């Protein structure tokens, strides 16, 4: 996914706010985002560093497949998504769950 095709705001979709992500944020200085499925770790790192003005230590990604759902005789599939675990450097802090 080249930087000329999409902007940094298209790469990061939304922060994933769950109990697990809140625990990771407080204990491991990690923030979890839903990201574009074609985004690479390098794209995600550059997007987070430029938008939030923080230093990223590492990025881990997980591709989540959509579940099969049935309603009577109709069978469908939910959309697949990708999430990124962004670990920040020691001096950086980003708290997306603050105020919720």
**Token pair listed for 31:** 């923030």
Query: Which helix (H) or strand (E) element contains residue 18?
Result: none
In the block, tokens 């990690």 appear at 30
Q: What is the pLDDT along the chain (100 residues), one digit of tens a residue?
A: 655 567 889 999 999 999 999 999 989 999 999 999 999 999 999 999 999 999 999 999 999 999 999 999 999 999 999 999 999 999 888 877 666 5
DSSP string computed for 55-72: -EEEEEEEEEPPPEEEET
Q: The pTM is what?
A: 0.85
Based on DSSP, count helices (H) and strands (E) in the chain, helices before strands. 3, 6
- Based on C-alpha coordinates, what's the Rg of the chain? 15
Q: What per-residue confidence (pLDDT) applies to 84?
A: 98
Per-residue confidence (pLDDT) for residue 66, from 0 to 100: 94
pLDDT recorded at residue 45:
96
User: What's the pLDDT score for residue 30?
Assistant: 94
Strand, coil or helix: what is 11? helix
For the chain, list the domains and their CATH numbers. 8-88 (3.30.70.330)
């Amino acid at each position: 996914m080249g930087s000329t095709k999409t902007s940094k705001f298209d790469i990061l979709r939304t922060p994933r706010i769950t109990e697990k992500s809140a625990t990771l944020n407080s204990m491991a200085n990690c923030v979890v985002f839903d990201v574009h499925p074609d985004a690479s770790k390098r794209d995600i790192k550059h997007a987070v560093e430029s938008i939030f003005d923080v230093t990223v230590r590492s990025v881990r990604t997980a591709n989540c497949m959509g579940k099969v759902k049935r309603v009577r005789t109709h069978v469908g599939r939910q959309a697949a998504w990708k999430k990124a675990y962004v670990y920040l450097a020691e001096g950086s802090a980003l708290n997306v769950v603050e105020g919720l």
